[in-house]
Structure 1
Amino acid sequence: MSRTVPDPTDTAAWNAYLAEGNAKQARKRVAADVLLRDPSGRVLIVNPTYKPGWDLPGGMAEANEPPEDTVRRELLEELGVHVTLLRLLVVDWVAPHGPWDDQIAFIFDGGVLDQAQADRLQPRDDELSEAAFVTDADAGALLRGRVRRRFEYALNAQATGRPLYLRDGTPVI
């Protein structure tokens, strides 16, 4: 059954029509992480308590939260650090896997913390058991699967100054 499209000048009917369409459209999960370094150039990785393996700092967006705000909020909540994001490095569309629907994952360049900030950095809630600054090579060895691939492409984007779009951890554009 086809629904009649209301007159856009009938604000209430038009908004109800748009809300019905919005409710039927797909929702995407959004994750946002950051490459953050200490003054010696080591990258920050974290060890979450809720999943196996190391990860980049960041997390999942809340409803209607922009990805860059997600990174800032997560780093403040979990590590007590304020970051200024310099630029976008990677956008990765992650295919459905296990019980999860697809997801859009961002990695931003968070620059370099000063030594005092780096020295004070430690987990502040029960979502992280550890935080460590490690070399890029060590991070690549500790990170797993698509997170490792995303990290490696983020390093490339950081070096070239060109952000990358990935599809499940592989560049497509």
Structure 2
Amino acid sequence: MRKTLRVAAYAVVVRDGQILLARSPADGGGHEWVLPGGGMEHGEDPYDTVRRELMEETGYRIDVTGLLGIDSVRHTFPNRRRRRPVDHQGLRLVYEGLVTGGELRPETNGSTDLAAWHDLGAVSGLRKVRMVDVGLELWLERPATGRAAKAAGEG
């Protein structure tokens, strides 16, 4: 079985009771909301990754104000080209960010097509990926372990 690892960095950016999210095409059609962020490039520091990804996906420059935690997921996916499944692990570093400049705009020719602020109270009703809930839990709870218990199925 082929094994893959993807390391990514995301930011929880909250301002005036709203969280900044990006919209991405969903499997099966439609769209879903995601935390702004994405995969590290080889040799890139995760701190630089999250700042670059935020700029690309939202148009904002941010200061990283803290490391909220780390989320790790593992899935097995079929690989239709090679007829062998892929054992994939995703390691996601979650930072807190503060907007310091730029203007809200959608990403051009990227993995997302819209960026928007959402009321924190309305997030539960959005079509979103699990990572949004993980990020919000880390931001709200700030666990000493840096691990979101509820999102990991522990709470």
| Same-fold call, TM cutoff 0.5 | yes
State the superposition RMSD in angstroms. 2.9
Residue type at the aligned position of 2:152: T
**Match runs of 1:104-143 below 5 Å:** 104-111=91-98, 113=99, 117=102, 120-127=103-110, 128-143=112-127
Indicate the larger mover: 138-147 or 55-64.
138-147
In structure 1, distance between residues paired with 2:62 and 2:145: 19
Change in Cα spacing, 1:126 to 1:138, as seen in structure 2 (3 Å) is farther
Using the size of structure 1 for normalisation, the TM-score is 0.66
Deviations 1:56-98 (A, max 9, x none): 1111111232222111111222333221101111201111243
Change in Cα spacing, 1:135 to 1:162, as seen in structure 2 (3 Å) is farther
> Does the CA-based 8 Å contact 1:92-1:168 persist in structure 2?
no
Deviations 1:108-155 (A, max 9, x none): 0003x36x75xx211131222211111122223325352243133223
Change in Cα spacing, 1:140 to 1:31, as seen in structure 2 (3 Å) is farther
Q: After TM superposition, which residue ranges in structure 1, 4 or more long, deviate above 6 angstroms?
A: none
Identity %: 26
Aligned to 2:7: 30
Change in Cα spacing, 1:67 to 1:141, as seen in structure 2 (3 Å) is farther
Q: Which has the higher strand share?
A: 2
The CA deviation at 1:27 is: 5.8
> Does the CA-based 8 Å contact 2:65-2:96 persist in structure 1?
yes
In structure 1, distance between residues paired with 2:51 and 2:36: 10
Q: Which runs of 5+ in 2 are unaligned?
A: 79-85
Number of paired residues? Answer: 140
Corresponding position: 1:146 with 2:111:
no
Change in Cα spacing, 1:164 to 1:93, as seen in structure 2 (3 Å) is same
Q: Which has the higher contact order (CA 8 A, sep 6+)?
A: 2
SS in 2 for 1:170: coil
SS in 1 for 2:63: coil
Corresponding position: 1:41 with 2:17:
yes
Q: Kindly name which structure, 1 or 2, has the bigger radius of gyration based on alpha carbons.
A: 1
The CA deviation at 1:41 is: 2.7
